[in-house]
Structure 1
Amino acid sequence: MLNVKYNLTTCSSYLTDMAAGFNAVSSQKVEIKNNQFVFPKSVGEGTFACYDVDTGLAVVIMDCIFFDDVNFIRLPAEINYFHAMSFNLTNFSFMVNKDGKEKQLEGESWRNKIFYSTSKTELSWIAPATIPIRMVVLLLSREWVINKYRLKKQQSHIPYQKELLEDVPLQFTLDLDLETVMLTQEIITSTPPDFLVKLFYKGYAKRLIALALEREAGYSNSIGTLKYHDVLTIIDAKKSIEDHLERPIPILDDLAKNCSMSSSKFANMFKAMYVKSYLQFFQELKMEKAAELLKKNFEIVDVAKSVGFVNQSHFTKVFKEYFRMPPKAYRDAAVKH
C-alpha cells in the first residue's frame, strides 16, 4: 500500500504537494504536465488533474485507477482556512478516518456521497487497487465560502451555517441526487478547449455546490425511485455511445441486456434522466455532428459514415427530417457563408 501524505490547499500547489506525497513512497516518480499527473506505468493511469478557476476555488478531477492500494492521508493544518467538498461517483464504500475515528461511507447508494471537511481536520481514505476512482473535489478558501455562500445573511439556509461562520473544524456528509450525479459525471468526462478551461470549470463548480446545498436546504426534488447503481450504469452506457458516434446506434434490447435491465426499464430511466427517448437523443447527437462536418465541407458519403450510417440515402432522409433540408443544400449554404 502507498501511504500518500498531502496538505489541503486551494491552489496549484495541491498537485505539487500530492505529487511529493506519491514520490516519497514510490520508486517511480509522478510528474505534472498541463495541470495533470503523468503516472508511471507501475503506479496508475487515467486523469488526476487540478485547475485553479477563481480566487479561492480550484477543481480536482479524478478518473483513474491505481495499481496498488493508495491510502490518501490528509494532514491536519494549524489554521482552518481551507475547505474541501468531494463528489464521489466511485461505486464502492469508503472507509474514512475522521479525527482518528473510522466511519464507513456507503458507496453503492445515494447516501453520504458528498463529503465536506475543513483543513484543521485530518482525513484518510483508501483507493483500492484496480478499482476505477471517479470523483470531483472542490477546493475552497474560507473567504470564498463566506462570500459566495452569503453566510452573513440570517436566512441563507446553508447547512452548518453557524459552524462555517464560527470557523470551527468541520466534517459532514450530504446525499447525492440525480442532477448532481449527472453534473459531476459531465465535469469528469468533459474536455474543454484550453482557452475556456477556467470559465468552464468555474461555472460547473458553482452549479455543483448550489445543487448540493439547495437540496440539503429542501429546495430541490427528491431522488425518487431511481436506483443509484442503475443511474451510473446508464451514464456509462451513454458515454460509451457518445464516444463512438461513427458506429450505428446499438439496438435498445441489446444495450439494455448488457446493462442487466429490461428494455422498458432502460428506456424509461433513460428518458427520465435525459428528457428525450434513447433513439431521439442519439439521433440528434449524430445529426449535430453531421452538421458540423458539413460546415467543414466534408463529402456527404464521408459524413454519413462518420455518424454511423451505412446507407447514404437513409442518412439523407434522417438529416432532412431533422434540419428540414437535405445535407447537400445545408453544406452549400454553410460553405457560402
Structure 2
Amino acid sequence: MSGERPTRELVSRFAGIGLVRGEYVFRALGLYPTCSVAQEQLFAYLDELCLLSSGPVVYRTMEVTAAEANTLRGVEEVIHEDAHSLMGVRGVRRHRRHPASLSAELRVLREVHRRHPGLIVIAPFVSAVDEYVWFRERVRAEVGPDCRVGTMIETPAAVLEAGELVAAGARHVVVGTNDLGSLLAARPRVPGVSTELGPGLARALRHVREAGGADDFRMHVAGYLTPPLMEAARQAGAHGCVVHYSDLPRLLGEEYADLPYLDHLAEVKKRTRAAIAGLAGNNRAEGWREDVRVGRTGGARIGHVPVDRP
C-alpha cells in the first residue's frame, strides 16, 4: 500500500497488508515527517488500514532518495548527490543521519501500535547488522518493547548477512527485489519496468530463506513482481508475496481492473519527478558559476563548477 484507500472487502481477500510504504504518504502531501500535518495523515491512514485488516499490517519507515527528500517541505538538510541514487543517503543511513525525522514517524507508530498491537515495523535499505540493531533499539524504545521489528533485505550485503540479521531479532524480513535485482545484475533500475528474475536473484531468495531457521521467522518477497519471480519465491520457500495495489490487475486478473486508486502511485511518482526537475532547474540557474582551477600539470582549466551547498 502506498496511500491507496482499499475497501474492507478487498482487504479480506488477502492474508494481510504486507508492506505500507510511508514515504508515499509524505510525498503525496509534499511534507516531511516532522510536519504535524504529515504525522496526523500518517496516523489516520495506518489506523484505517489496521481496522480493515484481520491479518498483520507491516509498515516500513520512510525510504526516499536524497532527491526525493529535497522536495518535501520541512526537510532538515538538502543533499545533492550523483545520479545513481541507490548508493546515496537513504533508508537507515538517512535515519541515522537525521534521527529526529525517524522519531517523528515512531511517535505516530507508538499510537498506532497501542491501538493495534499486531503492527510490524520494518527497517528500510539495510546493509549491515549494526544498522538493523540501531533501528531495532530505536523502535523498541520509542514505540514499545513488544513491537515486532523486521527488516528489508534489498542489498547483496543484507543477503549475505541474513543469518546474522535473523539472529539479531529480525524474524520478519521482506526481500525487496527491485533494488536487489538491480544491484545483483549491476544494472540501473528502469522506472515502470517489472523486476525480472535476473542473475542470482533466485539463489538470493533461497539463501535468505535457508538463513531463517527460527520457528517464528517469516520471509515475504516484494517488488514489481512477475509470475516467474513469484514462482521463484514459492520454490525458495517464501511465506508470501507482497503485490503492489496498482499491480493487482496485471498479476491477479481483470477482476481487479476497475479498482479505484490504481493510478495513485503513478501520479505521486509523477509529481515527485516534476518537483525534482524543478529543483534541478533552480540549482542550475542559481548555483553554477564560472570558475578557474589549476590542473595537475599547472595549466588553467575553465568550466562550470557547482557551488558547494549543504
What is the TM-score of this pair, normalised by structure 1? 0.23
What is the TM-score of this pair, normalised by structure 2? 0.25
Q: Point out the structure with the larger helix share.
A: 2
Q: Point out the structure with the larger strand share.
A: 1
Mark the structure with the bigger radius of gyration: 1
